[in-house]
Amino acid sequence: MSNDSGAYEVFRDPWGIPHLRAADHLGLAYAQGRATVFDRAWQLEVERHRAQGSSAAFLGAESVAWDRFARQCRLADTARRCYEALDAETAAWVRAYVDGVNDGLAGGTARDERFARTGLTPTPWEPWVPLGIWIATHILFAGFATKLWRERAARALGDEAATLFATDGPGTAGSNGWLVPGDRTVTGSAIIAGDPHRFIEDPGVYQQIRLSCPEYDVLGLAVPGVPGLAHFGHAGTVAWAITNAMADYQDLYVEELRGRGSAVEALGPNGAWEPVHRHTETVHVAGGDDVQVEVLETARGPVIVRVDADADADARSAQGAAVDTTTGPGPGRDRPAGPAGGALSLRYPPRVREDLGFAALPALLRARTVGDVDRALDGWAEPVNVVHAADSEGGLLHRVAGAVPLRDPANRLRPVPAQDARHAWQGWAETPDEPVQGFAVMANARGIASPLGVEFAPPHRADRIRELLSGQTGWSSKAMADVHRDTYLGSAAALLDLLPGFAELTPAARELRTRLLAWDRHMDADSADATLFAAFRTATVRRLAADPVFAGLWGAPDGPEVFHPWLYLVPRIGYALEGLLASPLLPGLDRAAHVRAALEETAAAGAPETAWSEVHRLTPWSALPDPQAEWPGLGGDHDCVNATSSVPGFTDLTARASAARYVWDLARREDSLWAVPLGADGVTGSPHHRDQLPLWARCELVPVVTDWARLTKESI
């Protein structure tokens, strides 16, 4: 087919995955945009509107909180600035993708009844939209909202408790990744494997795709709405993959604001009052009244919390006076973080640098060696990742890539005063790398990125992957599924190791203790013992949360709703349970008594003989949920390699898991494997919308097809 960006062809494999072939790289970017919008027009429009802060216009009042946040953060404006700062070649590449989206938007819209149901009429994309989607997808990725929780915890429990709940919390995204060098594989070439952990969405956040032109032939996992293959790709002679580095690179500043007529000023670090950018935007709400959003920006960054203003009145009204009983038994609600009369501004690298690192994306597609990947990622900015790469000549790479500011260590922990010059940014940190010895594992735990972060994932996933890989040599790509599906729960020891010390238990509790101690600690899908342990864990978490020592943290948090997942007590205790049980802080908390009482409570309720998968069911997020959808039960848990995260103490359901699984074989690319939670097509009811779901639920992968003769050419 001919178009302004050249000729291209679309092929499909048996799973409906698009394989695109074009005459040049701009034609290929156009083809990627057009094929993506054909498969996922609804998803692309939802993500575009979320980046703009306009999703409530067709999704309704539930989306107002996000739209307010997106506008206050100035996500769209930041994306425009980053696009305008691109070099000419990268900008042309992004425009070609957007041209493809725009030319295919009508056809993609016609395939999906959700447009008619919501009344959403797409309009042409502007060239900055892919950058906006990228920012909106990752603005909460580094978890700056954890600083709000630390502030809340410190107020209630004292400054020394600010990091008491440190762990891989409910709002963060993690991943597994491992690199096995050729001396440990059957082929003599390296294998890279892993899985990114995100909230599971319908349609999925990753898109399997292949991009081929005379310059390169690369397959991997794309983010719909964004050109190229930023995170996971296999170019034949080289492959790469990432995990979240858990770096801290976003800061919150406590601002002192004052009104000067119609203007607003902020007290700066030099003791002088500085002008604050101020304007008002309107969020249109389907089925409701428009919402006015005041947008403020100080010299530090956009204001995202106003403590003394009415900016969050609609959120408070929606909450009402009711208290969510899952957060603890006490009444009342907390104030937002920051002192009364102040505000919090957010400083984040893309806003400061006007750069996301998008020039790295076409450079990655052209990579042939790990040296090429390394050089491409020298320019990467957002988010900060740990990278594995390997090539067919034996080259290996393990490094961190991204922009992390140099500043006072206090900035990493909690909101800091804008008036203190010590907290200003002072340049950019060097990103570390290290040689691969034996094999390399990345699972968000402390390691190569430790100098750049504060809180990391517990070591259980990383330790378990190392244990599994160390147990044998002669690894093949197919054998990697055994690592993906492993369900050993290392964090169970924190609870189970306390049980032998309990005396004077009831007979039922003694029987329960015996059963739990005999359990193999695997959260297998068919395991009733796993369900029993989860019930015991839930009882423990809830009893700890109800202890008067945490009274200052009871009740629903105040402030913007978008931060609430970070600010509830029960999930925080659930994820930090292992550390809380061992911490010397809070001497008034009788941990053993609570664990003993939880054991008795669980025993009195009767041992459930329900398979873990019956209660541990997938619950994906969807902008417009399908009420007829049936979702599978899963094995695994938060600290398992098969990381299907429940929220201990709150629910056994899982909304976060592997958003994709991949195995990149450097000996023969056609021996590589992959899978996504749903399928290649974003249209509900289409043949390839959920055809990978049963395989994904069992941690099975589908073959990568590279032979064009085995693909079906599509009429376009």
Instruction: Give me the CATH number covering residue 280.
Output: 2.30.120.10
Q: Are 45 and 708 in contact (CB under 8 A)?
A: no
Question: What secondary structure letter does DSSP report for 242?
Answer: E
Output b/e per residue, 118-152; b: 16+ Cβ within 10 A.
Answer: bebebeebbbbbbbbbbbbbbbbbbbbbbbbbbbb
pLDDT at 406 over 70: yes
What value does the mean pLDDT take over residues 221-240?
A: 97
Q: What's the pLDDT score for residue 6?
A: 56
CA distance readout (Å), 669 to 17, 196, 441: 16, 20, 21
Query: What is the spatial distance between Cα 425 and Cα 251, in angstroms, rounded to a whole number?
Result: 10
pLDDT band with cut points at 50, 70 and 90 for residue 552? very high
Residue 260: burial class (beta carbons within 10 Å; 0-12, 13-18, 19+): exposed
Domain count for the chain, please give it.
1
Q: If you count them, how many residues does the chain have?
A: 716
Quote the pLDDT of residue 331.
24
More confident site: 693 or 629: 693
Cα separation of 7 and 3, whole Å?
A: 6
Model confidence at 609, pLDDT cuts 50, 70, 90, reads confident
Is there a domain that residue 296 lies in? yes
Quick one: pLDDT band at residue 27, thresholds 50, 70, 90?
Answer: very high
Does the residue 287 lie in any domain?
yes
What pLDDT is recorded for position 173? 54
Residue 409, token pair as written in the block: 């260590």
**pLDDT score of 328 more than 50:** no
Summarize the confidence of residues 133-142 as an average pLDDT: 93
Question: Does a structural domain hold residue 639?
Answer: no
Checking if the pLDDT of 687 tops 90, the result is yes
**Structure confidence at residue 166 as a pLDDT band (50, 70, 90):** confident
Rounded CA-CA distance 701/38 in Å is 25
322 inside domain:
yes
Taking the C-alpha atoms of residue 232 and residue 208, their distance in angstroms, rounded to an integer, is 10
Return the amino acid letter for 419.
Q
Question: Which value, in Å, is the radius of gyration of the alpha carbons in the chain?
Answer: 25
pLDDT for residue 284: 98
Is residue 337 within 8 Å of 413, Cβ to Cβ?
no
Within a domain: 280: yes
* Residue 475 confidence (pLDDT): 96
The pLDDT value given to residue 313: 38
What average pLDDT does range 249-258 have in this prediction?
Answer: 96
Whether pLDDT at 716 is above 90:
no
pLDDT of residue 715: 85
Distances (CA, A) of 486 to 195, 482, 637: 13, 6, 10
pLDDT confidence of residue 2 = 37
444 vs 89, more confident: 89
Q: What does the pLDDT read at residue 556?
A: 82
The answer to whether residue 3 sits within a structural domain is: no
Q: Which domain holds residue 300?
A: 251-352
Buried b (16+ CB within 10 A) or exposed e, 282-318: ebebeeeeebebbbbbbbbbbbbbbbeeebbebbeee
Tens digit of each residue's pLDDT (9 = 90 or more) over 46-81: 999 999 999 999 999 999 999 999 999 999 999 999
What is the pLDDT, as a whole number, of residue 168?
55
Give the pLDDT band (50/70/90) at residue 202: very high
pLDDT tens digits for 360-389? 999 999 999 999 999 999 999 999 999 999
Answer yes or no: is pLDDT of 340 > 50. Answer: no
Mean pLDDT in residue range 588-600: 96
Contact 389, 192 (CB under 8 A): yes
Report, as an integer, the average pLDDT of 579-596: 93
Burial category of 470 from C-beta neighbours within 10 Å (exposed 0-12, middle 13-18, buried 19 and up):
exposed
- More confident site: 502 or 316: 502
Q: What is the pLDDT of residue 332?
A: 26
| pLDDT tens digits, 699-708 | 999 999 999 9
pLDDT at residue 318, as a whole number:
31
Query: What integer is the mean pLDDT of 524-536?
Result: 97
| Lookup: tokens for 433 | 């790398």
DSSP annotation of 426: -
| SS3 state at 563 | helix
pLDDT > 90 fraction of the chain, expressed in percent and rounded: 85
pTM metric for this prediction: 0.92
Among 238-252, 304-318, 419-433, 635-649, name the one with the lowest average pLDDT.
Answer: 304-318
- The pLDDT of residue 217 is above 90: yes
> What pLDDT, on a 0 to 100 scale, did the predictor assign at position 627?
84
Q: Among 434, 429, 446, 364, which Cα is nearest to 396's?
A: 434
Residue entry with tokens 């203190």: 420
Rounded to an integer, the average pLDDT of 420-437 is: 94
User: Would you say residue 288 has pLDDT above 80?
Assistant: yes
Average pLDDT estimate for 141-170: 86
Q: Is residue 157 part of a domain?
A: no
Mean pLDDT of all residues belonging to the chain: 91
Q: Identify the CA nearest to 676 among candidates 704, 649, 654, 713.
A: 704
User: 629: number of CA atoms within 13 Å, CB side?
Assistant: 21
Q: Is residue 330 part of a domain?
A: yes
CA–CA dist 336, 558 (Å, integer): 5
DSSP for residue 363:
H
Least confident range from 276-290, 440-454, 520-534, 683-697: namely 440-454
Q: Which DSSP symbol is given to 445? A: S
Rounded-to-integer distance, Cα 589 and Cα 324, Å: 23
**What residues contact residue 360 under an 8 Å CB cut-off, 6+ apart?**
230, 376, 377, 379, 380
Query: For residue 308, is pLDDT > 60?
Result: no
Is the CA virtual torsion 498, 499, 504, 509 positive or negative? Answer: positive
Residue 135: CB partners within 8 Å, gap ≥ 6? Answer: 51, 75, 78, 79, 82, 350, 356, 382
